[in-house]
Amino acid sequence: MKNLLTDIPEILTAEVFQTIIENKGVKIERITSLGQVTPEGEWYDQAENEWVVLLKGGARLMFEDGREQHLEAGDHAWLPSGCKHRVSWTDPQQPTLWLAVHWPNGE
């Protein structure tokens, strides 16, 4: 992948996770969504830290404490290790492109 905004999957019946680089515990991936959400009652509770930026589209993250964060292109979110969150909405009309960076807790 040479351009993060090209080669977007045509059919998106599920989110598509594409690893761009992974080295020494750090992983950078592009995630493509089209209306997908985290199933009701399920939460991401990751052992690693994560930083995400929305490159295109729109999304909402919901946190266990009830907060919700709306994201549009250019917005980013810091998700420290153990931060329970879920994707509560992604734009069903256009692909939403995320860039996610994961790294071990404590680094």
Give the residue ranges of DSSP H helices in 17-67. none
Rounded to 10 degrees, the C-alpha dihedral 49/74/17/19 comes to -70
Give the domain CATH number at 77. 2.60.120.10
Domain range for 57: 20-103
Spatial distance between the Cα atoms of 86 and 4, rounded to a whole number of angstroms: 23
In a domain, 8, yes or no: no
In a domain, 6, yes or no: no
Q: How are strands ordered across the β-sheet holding 68-72?
A: 68-72, 58-63, 85-90
Percentage of the chain surpassing pLDDT 90?
88
In a domain, 2, yes or no: no
pLDDT tens by residue, 39-88 = 999 999 999 999 999 999 999 999 999 999 999 999 999 999 999 999 99
Instruction: State how many domains the chain has.
Output: 1
In a domain, 75, yes or no: yes
